[in-house]
């Protein structure tokens, strides 16, 4: 008759001597290994027992195997815990201290605002397109009805690129996203067009609380039969409500851009002084902050695309994304955005 109790005692005595991983593994293979482990072999021996002894033999062999499994797990735990305790007392390392949090990056507030603007227009059926930041003067100005020597070129103090392309084509850092009106029309066979073009623009500005030399715009263009000024107003009003909520006030002023007729500017009520500050730095005492220019696409630009301007009409707009970001968070100076101060950027 196999002496299970003696075997168990022998196994446990051996186990108590094993102090590291390799020794534990050797013990496991010796006793519990699937092929030749002693406990496993005993279990397989059930079939060689006389019929009347099989049940009690099997139960005892199973109990032995289970006891050894449990003992191994307990021994592994005890060794791991002892190692941690040793580390905590010997090394100058307190393993109970919480870890240092990894600083998580986040999207720049202008990027967040850009995405919200794009989403607002996308929900109204505008598709997103892109265009180059280094642009031909021909697109930035001429195609937009701003010929050389036209005083309107002074509206955008331009950063020119030194090199002439093909010896003659002047290039610049685009001063607005409007050249993409021409670029989009050029690659569209026939209206309808309903597109927005987000991107960075550059101007040689004397910077102040609302002007930076780099700015982000979203150009919008819709051309189709029967597009009217009321469509422009409705679209931009809906945009303002999506971004600023139902109670924000907007106002349209007449304005001049050579590529639209008529032209307007849309402004939102100043959140800083609420219209009360004559010397408010942000709205310059007007009570309003301009966030976009817009207007009805000039018929000449529609004709330049090869379309019949007596059949097709359109509206266009250019949103200043930094201005929108200033307004929605009540930020008092546009220059914060590009100074890379994490104390500022971390707040959004």
Task: Summarize as ranges the residues that interact with ligand PHE (CB under 6 A).
Answer: 176, 178, 257, 260, 263, 293-295, 316-318
Residues composing the chain? 348
Contact 193, 221 (CB under 8 A): yes
Nearer to ligand PHE, 8 or 180 (CB): 180
Nearer to ligand PHE, 23 or 155 (CB): 155
Catalytic residue among 174, 183, 194, 203: 203
**Who contacts 30 (Cβ-Cβ below 8 Å, separation ≥6)?**
14, 37, 38
Note if 316 is an active site residue: yes
Nearer to ligand PHE, 62 or 207 (CB): 207
Contact 291, 325 (CB under 8 A): no
Contact 208, 332 (CB under 8 A): no
Note if 260 is an active site residue: yes
Tell me how far, at minimum, the Cβ of 276 lies from ligand PHE, in Å: 28
Nearer to ligand PHE, 42 or 321 (CB): 321
Nearer to ligand PHE, 178 or 282 (CB): 178
Tell me how far, at minimum, the Cβ of 178 lies from ligand PHE, in Å: 4
Burial of residue 301 (number of CB atoms within 10 Å: 0-12, 13-18, 19+): buried
Catalytic residue among 39, 120, 184, 217: 217
Catalytic residue among 110, 316, 319, 325: 316
Tokens for 165? 């392309």
The number of angstroms, rounded, from the C-alpha of 247 to the middle of its chain's C-alpha atoms is 28
**Who contacts 150 (Cβ-Cβ below 8 Å, separation ≥6)?**
141, 258
Tell me how far, at minimum, the Cβ of 261 lies from ligand PHE, in Å: 10
Tell me how far, at minimum, the Cβ of 240 lies from ligand PHE, in Å: 16
Tell me how far, at minimum, the Cβ of 340 lies from ligand PHE, in Å: 25
Q: What is the DSSP letter of 275?
A: T
Spatial separation of the C-alpha atoms in residues 146 and 320, rounded to whole Å: 21
Note if 203 is an active site residue: yes
State the helix-helix crossing angle for 229-244 and 321-329, rounded to 10 degrees.
40
List strand residue ranges (DSSP E) for 174-248, in order.
Answer: 193-202, 214-225
As annotated, the active-site residues are: 156, 176, 203, 217, 260, 316
């Amino acid at each position: 008759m196999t002496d299970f109790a003696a075997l168990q005692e022998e196994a446990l005595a051996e186990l108590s001597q094993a102090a590291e991983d390799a020794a534990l593994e050797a013990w496991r293979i010796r006793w519990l290994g699937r092929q030749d482990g002693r406990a496993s072999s005993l279990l397989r021996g059930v079939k060689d027992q006389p019929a009347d002894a099989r049940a009690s033999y099997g139960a005892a062999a199973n109990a032995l195997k289970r006891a050894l499994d449990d003992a191994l797990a307990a021994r592994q735990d005890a060794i791991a815990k002892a190692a941690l305790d040793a580390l905590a007392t010997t090394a100058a390392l307190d393993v109970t201290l919480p870890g240092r949090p990894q600083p998580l990056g986040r999207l720049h507030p202008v990027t967040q605002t850009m995405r919200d603007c794009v989403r607002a227009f996308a929900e109204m059926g505008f598709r997103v397109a892109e265009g180059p930041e280094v642009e031909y003067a021909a697109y930035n100005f001429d195609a937009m009805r701003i010929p050389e020597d036209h005083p309107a070129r002074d509206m955008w103090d331009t950063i020119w690129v030194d090199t002439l392309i093909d010896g003659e084509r002047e290039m610049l850092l685009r001063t607005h996203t409007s050249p993409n009106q021409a670029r989009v029309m050029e690659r569209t066979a026939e209206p309808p067009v309903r597109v927005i073009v987000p991107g960075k623009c550059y101007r040689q500005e004397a910077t102040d609380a609302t002007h930076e030399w780099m700015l982000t715009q979203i150009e919008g263009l819709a051309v189709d039969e029967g597009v009217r000024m009321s469509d422009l107003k409705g679209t931009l009003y809906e945009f303002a409500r999506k971004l600023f909520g139902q109670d924000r006030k907007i106002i349209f002023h007449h304005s001049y851009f050579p590529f639209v007729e008529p032209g307007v500017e849309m402004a939102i009520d100043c959140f800083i002084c609420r219209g009360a500050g004559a010397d408010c730095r942000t709205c310059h005492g007007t009570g309003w902050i301009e966030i976009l220019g817009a207007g009805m696409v000039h018929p000449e630009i529609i004709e330049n695309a090869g379309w019949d301007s007596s059949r097709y009409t359109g509206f266009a707009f250019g949103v200043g994304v930094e201005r929108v970001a200033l307004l929605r968070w009540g930020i008092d100076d546009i220059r914060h955005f590009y100074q890379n101060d994490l104390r500022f950027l971390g707040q959004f």
